[in-house]
Chains A and B, each alone.
Chain A
């Protein structure tokens, strides 16, 4: 996008330049389309705000694409017409009203100066607000209003439309950031308003074009500092990128993230950048001979406070775990007439534990991958017995298990186990030759006698039952209900044990997930032993995804 920007800008915007600004807005809005969609908090069918705004602005731009030699007044009229015809969804309708107001406000002008730009924006505000009986603040309407007010203020000092667009964009940015303060649903979901953000993108596109900044590259995201660590890096070790380097530094000058990323990309892979309180953390995987390069490079940008280098190959080797074996799984063979247990397991560790306790069939599934009724049916239809017990081990799977029980001629009973500890506890009561009713009763009793805990990382910022959770924080669930959120795994585990009154029980078993190393799990078990000296602490490999730990207390 470097074509045709005049070296010295005149104090007006002519037709061709105006239409290039609109094209820049459209391009930038498209670049950010998914980011805007992701902000949506209402699960309504027209909820894809980013897409709706892109389609509306595209329809508007289509009207002027071939006639960019026209006057600005004429172009704005066509834009308004195109936006009206193409308006999609709520945000699209509001955007079309904004264009209609803008077009009316600037009138039949040849070129756009500061004065007429401000007329356009204030009229856009009036028109936008006329379209609704009770305007909701904290939405695109608020951003439109704040932008127009900023334009009016800017006009006191300058008649340069370029400068006014800059001012307006900054005001729009502040306004978007403020939307959660005005609208509770946004605050609860921890997002800014999608429509407001879309309008901001339209202004930003113009500014980026004027500054010769790229329009087709989405801005690089910066994660919170706490979310970048070694754990997730371990999964990503790849051949040739043998060293992991993490550098904490405070830049001398504001960091240009795009340049920073592209420089790092020349050195290695798995690049992540985090920021907190002005300190940046850079994470990268590099080949052995380049292991000092990222440090030298970062040193040129700021003062380094911490460096961490680790040989990933060592990590991978060190991770080899006696609990994770390649031995083929040995399931219990049932005799005709005996009771066969079908257990649902989310990970290889749990699968082995269930198998060792006498399960006749295992169906893979869990929190995010519920097995279908068909898969459950297939697991027991061919077993040489007609007496079957299913342990769903997840509340979302109980229903599928019950449907499977109805669809077969076999005598199938579902023990409604909602958690893995409940399933294991029930499993221990299995006596294959006993009467069905007795076994089911024993198992159902066992389910009541165990407390289940799950420790995981929040995937987004929410507030549930009065507990505020930030994305990336550790959350602890007790029998499926949230009990606390914490900064680290240690506090998460301890707060769960505390909430479950673990000191009143005898045995605490930790099942560590696929994303936790044996070393880290052992440390956690030791820590729990210190806090609960009277209880027996056991550590097992569960191999479940998402959950760092599943904890059973009995």
Chain B
């Protein structure tokens, strides 16, 4: 939970909430065609529990929000640009929605999807 001290009490925001915002942003990011489990155990868990935000890890470290994205990129796009762009989009959307700064966004490109035959 991340805490924001308010005069009338505290506001708690779960990691799941942030992951959902990030998920929506990733889906609209050009060049990203999917999210991937970060390891086999994760993949198995996800096969059992249908988690809409698999592939997105949110962590709080010393009151800072860190987000890890595990993505699949469309083959034929410039990976560096797509990765930079998805990080920007996620940061913008999360910060806009929460009103809290995001410390770090790490993009892990887990694979490429080849949809054209060239």
* A188→B116 CA distance, assembly (Å): 37
Show 12 residue pairs from A and B whose CB-CB distance is below 8 angstroms, ordered by the A residue: A46-B85, A46-B88, A85-B78, A87-B78, A88-B81, A90-B89, A93-B82, A97-B77, A104-B116, A131-B77, A132-B28, A133-B33
Give residues of chain B (72-98) contacting chain A, Cβ–Cβ below 8 Å. 74, 76-78, 81-82, 84-85, 88-89, 91-92
Question: Are B88 and A136 in contact, with the CB atoms below 8 A?
Answer: no
Question: Are A131 and B85 in contact, with the CB atoms below 8 A?
Answer: no
- Min distance, Cβ B86 to any Cβ of chain A, angstroms: 9
Question: Are B77 and A87 in contact, with the CB atoms below 8 A?
Answer: yes
Residue of B27, B76, B84 near A97 (CB, 8 A) is B76
Contact status of A131 and B30, CB under 8 A, knowing A84-B76, A90-B85, A96-B77: yes
- Min distance, Cβ B83 to any Cβ of chain A, angstroms: 10
Question: Are A93 and B31 in contact, with the CB atoms below 8 A?
Answer: yes
Question: Are B77 and A93 in contact, with the CB atoms below 8 A?
Answer: yes
B-side contacts of A136, CB under 8 Å: 28
Question: Are A89 and B77 in contact, with the CB atoms below 8 A?
Answer: no
- Min distance, Cβ A83 to any Cβ of chain B, angstroms: 9
Partner-B contacts on A (CB < 8 A) = 42-46, 84-90, 92-94, 96-97, 100, 104, 127, 130-134, 136
Contact status of A44 and B81, CB under 8 A, knowing A130-B115, A133-B34: no
Q: Which residue of A lies closest to B82 (CB)?
A: A93
Question: Are A127 and B116 in contact, with the CB atoms below 8 A?
Answer: yes
* A548→B32 CA distance, assembly (Å): 50
* A100→B75 CA distance, assembly (Å): 11
Give residues of chain B (1-37) contacting chain A, Cβ–Cβ below 8 Å. 26-34
A-side contacts of B91, CB under 8 Å: 44
B-side contacts of A92, CB under 8 Å: 78, 81
Partner-A contacts on B (CB < 8 A) = 26-34, 74, 76-78, 81-82, 84-85, 88-89, 91-92, 115-116, 118
Question: Are A132 and B76 in contact, with the CB atoms below 8 A?
Answer: no
Q: Which residue of B lies closest to A132 (CB)?
A: B30
Question: Are A134 and B27 in contact, with the CB atoms below 8 A?
Answer: yes
Residue of B27, B31, B92, B118 near A131 (CB, 8 A) is B31
* A295→B77 CA distance, assembly (Å): 57
Question: Are B31 and A46 in contact, with the CB atoms below 8 A?
Answer: no
Q: Which residue of A lies closest to B80 (CB)?
A: A87
Query: Known contacts A90-B81, A96-B78, A133-B32; can you find 9 more A-B pairs with CB under 8 A?
Result: A44-B92, A45-B88, A87-B78, A90-B85, A93-B77, A97-B77, A132-B31, A133-B34, A134-B27
* A85→B76 CA distance, assembly (Å): 10
B-side contacts of A100, CB under 8 Å: 76, 116, 118
Question: Are A134 and B116 in contact, with the CB atoms below 8 A?
Answer: no
Q: Top 6 A-B pairs ranked by shortest CB distance?
A: A87-B78, A134-B27, A90-B85, A131-B74, A133-B27, A87-B81
* A90→B30 CA distance, assembly (Å): 7
Q: Which residue of A lies closest to B115 (CB)?
A: A130
Contact status of A132 and B78, CB under 8 A, knowing A42-B92, A104-B116: no
Question: Are B92 and A134 in contact, with the CB atoms below 8 A?
Answer: no
Contact status of A84 and B78, CB under 8 A, knowing A90-B85, A127-B116: yes
Question: Are A44 and B89 in contact, with the CB atoms below 8 A?
Answer: yes
* A42→B88 CA distance, assembly (Å): 10
Question: Are A132 and B85 in contact, with the CB atoms below 8 A?
Answer: no
- Min distance, Cβ B71 to any Cβ of chain A, angstroms: 10
- Min distance, Cβ B25 to any Cβ of chain A, angstroms: 10
B-side contacts of A132, CB under 8 Å: 27-33
Question: Are B88 and A131 in contact, with the CB atoms below 8 A?
Answer: no
Question: Are B74 and A130 in contact, with the CB atoms below 8 A?
Answer: yes
B-side contacts of A93, CB under 8 Å: 30-31, 77-78, 81-82, 85
Question: Are B31 and A44 in contact, with the CB atoms below 8 A?
Answer: no
- Min distance, Cβ B35 to any Cβ of chain A, angstroms: 9
B-side contacts of A88, CB under 8 Å: 81
- Min distance, Cβ B36 to any Cβ of chain A, angstroms: 13
Question: Are B85 and A89 in contact, with the CB atoms below 8 A?
Answer: yes
- Min distance, Cβ B34 to any Cβ of chain A, angstroms: 7
A-side contacts of B118, CB under 8 Å: 100, 104
B-side contacts of A42, CB under 8 Å: 92
